[in-house]
Each structure stands twice: as structure tokens, then as C-alpha cells.
Amino acid sequence: MNKITKLGLLTFLISGALLAGCSSESDQSTGTEKNVEEETQTTDVKSDTSEAMEESIKFYFTANEGGSISKIDASSNEVVESIEVDGAVHNVQVSPDGKMLGATLVPAMNHGGEDTHGEDSHGGSMEMKGQALFYDIETNKLQKTIEVGNHPAHIVFTEDGKYALVTNNEDNNVSIIDMATLTVIETVNTGKGPHGFRISSDSQKAYIANMAENTVSVLNLDSMKEEKRITVGSAPVTTGITSDGKVLVATLNSENMLAIVDLSTDEVEKVEVGVGPAQVYIDENNQFAYVANQGTESNPSNTVSVIDLESKKVTATIETGKGAHGVVSDGDRLYVTNMFENTVTVIDTKQNEVIDTFEVGEVPNGISITE
């Protein structure tokens, strides 16, 4: 078990005169009344300052298949909370309003092996349904547990906050959860082995990588139906979509490639990346795609490939820990989970250099950050 570092509370010392330009009415107050007023105003300033500082703190979270979720302070890269669960947490995502964390859970009796994308990733008997978990980000308390399908993989919120979608890898479908009622309102069929996915910025379409075939399912979230499938290549693990909705990317685990799809024509171009690519993240400017190259447990990879989406070329290869899997960015920093070292690597995206690596929970998989 990893040693968890607890974040101490910040104490602000506010000194000096807080009252200025006192009126003649204030001057006529007794000394006791003045002290009470000064103390009240000082407390208010402290409270306002603390609240402002709390709002400015950014956290990111790792889904640990060893049975926990790590909550990390992005300013210090310290694990401030380890949320224990009974089973394997495969993926996490922060809601658009930053108030809730969604996670997918394969319950303990349900989990037949660690998901290593290439080594019996989804084996084992499934005696009970998987779950979607929802936590309050401020308190870390579990708010709701929702039954979904067998071996839930990824969870993603629509940008409008209306829905959360969960891919059920062994059922070949997606559970659509209404966030207003926190209930499953639709189950939509996909291709075989639906896994990682992203949703368009207009909250209209979900692009789901079907690991057990060579396609990406396009789900229409108005009609709640699969609209079409795009052939991209062998064993797509997850997808990314530019904010303008024009370009789709998908990691091709069996080909060591990133598929780049022009959505106006569905034409595919491929760029060679590292061994066993897993997750991909497109930066906020739609300029770069960051691909985490995992490999397998017996033959791990340990790099992130940086692809220029305009030139369709790898512009940098950055060394991480073994089994690079999940990847997310806040613009200035890139955060990568290393499954086979139980660590996260932090990368400066301006210099494409590693600035920190630290331990989290066991077998970190998905990763998400507050905005």
C-alpha cells in the first residue's frame, strides 16, 4: 500500500488596521463595540480569503484498479485523499461544473483480471453488474451508486452536464445516465467491446472506440441511437475529438498507430506512435494530440507521443514510467498514469519535459482534472 500524504489546512494571518475612514458615529462607539465590529470584519475577510483560495485549488484524480481513487493537489502533486472502493476503478471524469466526480467500478467479485489492453484485459466471469459511482468533489463523499452493464470501461459527461455515458465493454452497449435524476434512461447498442470515448463539445455526439473490432461507433444523443460506425483500424482503445467537431482521433493498440479521421469525409490517415497506445488527449487549441503508449505488462512501453494534428507528424516523444495509460492536460501540464509503476508523471507541455513523478494508488488507469 502506498503512503498517502494528507494536505494540511492553510492558515492565513490577517493583520493591520481593517477599518479606515471611520465616521463620527463610529468614533462615539464604546471600546467593546469597536472590538466586536473589528473581530466580525476580520473573520469575514478570513472567510472570504479562505473560500477564494479553496476555489483556486485544482485537483486531479486517478482511477486505481487496485481498489481506490487518488485525489491529488495539482499545485503540489501530493495525494491528499485516497478513496477506497471494493473492486477495480477503471476510469474517472470530473463533471463540467467541477462539483462531481464520476467513476466506473468493476466490483471485486466481478473482476477477472487487470485491464492491461493486450493481456487478457477483460477475462473472468461476470456474476454481477458493473457500477457507476458519483462523488462530491469537495467532500469526497459517495453520492450515488448506479448499476450499469458488465465490465464498465469509461465514463464521460456531456459538456452541457445533462448526461453521463458509460461504456459496458462486455455487453456491447452504452448506459446513458440522466444527471438530473441520476438514473439510467437509455441503453444504446454499439460495436463489439466499447471502451474509451469522447463527446463533442456541443453535447450532440459520442465517438466510442470498439476494442473488439476495428470501428468507432457514432452515437446521436438526440435520438439516443447509433448513427453509424467508422472503420479506423485494429483494436481502437479510445478516441478524441477537436472542439470544432471536425477531426476525430483514435488510438490503434494493435497497430501502434493513431488514426486521424476527417469527419467531413470519414477518411482516415495514420501516424505511427509508440508500442501499445492507450489513451489520447487533444489540447485546448486543437493543435496537438498526446498519446500514452502503454505496451503490455510483460513488455511495457513508457512514452508519450506528441502529434501535430495539422502536419500529422510526431513532434516529440517524452519518456514516462512503465505502462503509460491515462493522459489529461490543463494546458500547461500533462498528467500521465503509469500502470505498471503505480505512479503519475507530470510533463511541462511548453518544453515537453518531465518535471515530476510520484506514487499514487495501485495500477492507476484513467485520469481527470478539475478546470
Set of cell numbers at residue 332: 500547461
Question: In this predicted model, what pLDDT tens digit does every residue of 136-185 receive, in sequence order?
Answer: 999 999 999 999 999 999 999 999 999 999 999 999 999 999 999 999 99
Q: How far apart are the C-alpha atoms of 166 and 164, rounded to whole Å? A: 7
Set of cell numbers at residue 21: 475612514
C-alpha cell of residue 279? 489513451
Q: Taking the mean position of all CA atoms in its chain, how far away is CA 57?
A: 17
Residue 279 pLDDT class (50, 70, 90 cuts): very high
Calculate the average pLDDT of the chain.
86
Q: Under a CB-based contact definition with an 8 Å cutoff, are residues 163 and 186 in contact?
A: no
For the whole model, what pTM was predicted? Answer: 0.82
Task: Please report the sign of the dihedral spanned by the C-alpha atoms of residue 210, residue 281, residue 255, residue 342.
Answer: negative
| Sheet of 300-308, strand order | 277-282, 288-295, 300-308, 313-319
How far, in Å, CA of 235 to CA of 342, rounded?
25
Sign of the alpha-carbon torsion through 237, 270, 345, 54: negative
Residue 9 pLDDT class (50, 70, 90 cuts): very low
Task: Using the predicted structure, report yes or no on whether residue 123 has a pLDDT greater than 70.
Answer: no
Asked if 102 and 133 touch (Cβ cutoff 8 Å), the reply is yes
pLDDT bucket at 127, cuts 50 / 70 / 90: low
Task: Give percent helix, percent strand, percent coil of the chain, each to the nearest 5.
Answer: 10, 50, 40
Other residues' Cβ atoms within 10 Å of the Cβ of residue 66:
17
pLDDT at 57: 82
Question: pLDDT tens across 198-224, in order?
Answer: 999 999 999 999 999 999 999 999 999
